[in-house]
Amino acid sequence: MFDAVVVGGGVAGSVAARELGLRGLRVALLEKSRHPRPKPCGEGLLPHGVAGLRSLGLDFPGVPVKGLRYVSPCGVTAQADFPSGEGMVVRRERFDAYLFEAAAGTPNVETFPETPYDAARWKARWLVGADGLKSQFHRQRDFRVRTPRLHRVGLSTHVRGLQVDRERVEVLFHLGGEVYLAPSDDGEALVACLYRKDALPAEPTNELRVLHTLRSLKALRGRVGSIAFTTPVLGAGPLGLSLGRLAADDVVLIGDAAGAPDPVTGEGMSLAILSAVPLAEALASGRPEAYEKQRRRLASNAAWLSGWILKASRRPALADRVIGALDEHPSLFAKLMGIAVGAASVRDLTLVDLTRLAL
């Protein structure tokens, strides 16, 4: 009999299993696929996620990035560096395989690849649901799941033939959502496109939808050559989810299963990594409610930021104005970056800041 069965060997499950094992709990980590497995993602790990990973004794050779650049629909640009530390762009299929391996090498942890969870087979004191946005536990217990009012979908892929900034993640706003461009391994570029569902281009394939979107962006004129896709275009949706509870009876949720901020904040993987220690400490001491409180605190900045960015991105004129304000007031952009990486709080914004952000 195991002390904990962790269902899902993505970022959240592998890091949580490792932390539980290091605290002496006997853990089974189940993953229904075999790594490396594909995963739609913008692949940007924010500096606090990188620091969190390193503080757990984990390291991964991603592509370092020092900040963000926002480009509004009419081409207004603002850029800023992260307040401290570097972010990293990680190829998900390799990153997740690395974390699963790290869990497998941890005392007290046994890993089970290609093993979907079966309630009749797996018994334990704790069940940790780390099975992503569409967690099966949402249906099995009352977690008070709330889907977002705005239905958004995402596509992600890797390409050659697109010139991207090799030091910054670029976020280009357009009429139906945003495009994320980031430097990836071997000189390739990561492309992630997020859309309101009703704004998804009416092309017959996901490749053509991505090409259509890139070619329609004024800011990319002259930068889109003959694009070659180096990985399949993966889709996900609806994006974002919030839960009224994170623990019910013997089940505790982590990662996207515990609620996913809209990926517009690039926070999902960092939140999954940073929640692993509070979860493991809470289960080791038999107090899941302690985890719930800390996880909500960790997620609060991303919840605020995603609401604000989505509001600005819905109206192009507003996005132009707000990005113009960020360019004009670097200290305001620096505060927002601080909020994004957990170094500042929403309470640090003054009334003047809020007016500039059109709130």
Ligand X SMILES: Cc1cc2nc3c(=O)[nH]c(=O)nc-3n(C[C@H](O)[C@H](O)[C@H](O)COP(=O)(O)OP(=O)(O)OC[C@H]3O[C@@H](n4cnc5c(N)ncnc54)[C@H](O)[C@@H]3O)c2cc1C
Residues of this chain that bind ligand X (CB under 6 A): 7-13, 30-33, 39-45, 116-117, 130-132, 136, 154, 156, 192, 236, 239, 255-257, 260, 263, 266-270, 272
For residue 85, the minimal CB distance to ligand X (Å) is 15
Answer yes or no: are the C-beta atoms of 126 and 5 closer than 8 Å.
Answer: yes
CB atoms within 10 A of CB 185: 16
**With respect to ligand X, which residue has the nearer C-beta, 74 or 150?**
150
Question: What is the spatial distance between Cα 266 and Cα 171, in angstroms, rounded to a whole number?
Answer: 11
Amino acid occupying residue 161 = G
**With respect to ligand X, which residue has the nearer C-beta, 64 or 324?**
64
Six-digit token pair at 335? 């505060």
**With respect to ligand X, which residue has the nearer C-beta, 302 or 325?**
302
Question: What is the spatial distance between Cα 282 and Cα 292, in angstroms, rounded to a whole number?
Answer: 9
Question: What is the spatial distance between Cα 346 and Cα 351, in angstroms, rounded to a whole number?
Answer: 11
For residue 356, the minimal CB distance to ligand X (Å) is 26
Question: What is the spatial distance between Cα 111 and Cα 344, in angstroms, rounded to a whole number?
Answer: 37
On the CB side of 71, CA atoms within 13 Å amount to 17
For residue 116, the minimal CB distance to ligand X (Å) is 4
For residue 170, the minimal CB distance to ligand X (Å) is 12
Give, rounded to a whole angstrom, the gap between the first and last alpha carbons of the chain. Answer: 53
Q: Which residue has the tokens 């990486």?
A: 341
Question: What is the spatial distance between Cα 225 and Cα 164, in angstroms, rounded to a whole number?
Answer: 12
**With respect to ligand X, which residue has the nearer C-beta, 128 or 325?**
128
Strand partners, 173: 178
**With respect to ligand X, which residue has the nearer C-beta, 24 or 116?**
116
For residue 355, the minimal CB distance to ligand X (Å) is 29
For residue 49, the minimal CB distance to ligand X (Å) is 6
**With respect to ligand X, which residue has the nearer C-beta, 22 or 50?**
50
Six-digit token pair at 276? 């692993």
**With respect to ligand X, which residue has the nearer C-beta, 73 or 240?**
240
Tell me whether residue 45 is exposed, middle or buried, using C-beta atoms within 10 angstroms of its C-beta: 0 to 12, 13 to 18, 19 or more. buried
Question: What is the spatial distance between Cα 61 and Cα 250, in angstroms, rounded to a whole number?
Answer: 36
For residue 255, the minimal CB distance to ligand X (Å) is 2
